[in-house]
Amino acid sequence: MTQDDESFMQEALEKAREAALSGEVPIGALIFDPSSKTVLATARNSPIALNDPCAHAEILALREAGAKLGNYRLTDLWLYVTLEPCAMCAGAISHARIGRLIYGAPDAKGGAIEHGPKFFAQPTCHWKPEVTSGVLAEDSATLLKSFFKARRKT
């Protein structure tokens, strides 16, 4: 983990906070190009707003970066996300050829990187990024816990 990892994860957390304010599960994502040192995409969870069960922050960030680059292959780019990706997102990350995945909080229930299907460890997985977990994990977990606690009160 680097200082830059924490800085980019802070940006992803800001997107997660935006999601929470709009009633979406607070997950944010960011795609960084280390060769040009530019942020190509930021996104927040939006399945409710977009009426799209696939509108996870990771998927939306991958789509935005692909559109900007004019290529569905995002080889060597870095994806920051505040929560361990689910199986759907892990599959998309693999297909996009993301070079490095950095995530915050673990997700024992729905995660697919270190939990559940452990997507990248499967012999059928054709591309595995470098994975760094736990970056600002406590901040990410606290945001999620606060969001769901507030929802249970209403």
CATH number at residue 22: 3.40.140.10
Binding residues for Zn(2+): 56, 86, 89
Range of the domain at 26: 3-140
Please give the single-letter amino acid code of residue 35.
Answer: S
User: Rounded to two decimals, what is the model's pTM?
Assistant: 0.96
Q: Is residue 122 part of a domain?
A: yes
Q: Where are the beta strands (DSSP E) in 23-151?
A: 28-33, 38-44, 78-83, 100-105, 130-133
Sheet holding 28-33, edge to edge: 38-44, 28-33, 78-83, 100-105, 130-133
User: In the chain, how many domains are there?
Assistant: 1
Q: Is residue 148 part of a domain?
A: no
Tens digits of residue pLDDT in 76-120 = 999 999 999 999 999 999 999 999 999 999 999 999 999 999 999
Tens digits of residue pLDDT in 43-55 = 999 999 999 999 9
Q: Is residue 30 part of a domain?
A: yes
Q: Is residue 50 part of a domain?
A: yes
Q: Is residue 129 part of a domain?
A: yes
Please give the single-letter amino acid code of residue 119.
Answer: F
CB 128 within 8 A of CB 35: no
Q: Which residues are annotated as catalytic?
A: 58
Q: Is residue 151 part of a domain?
A: no
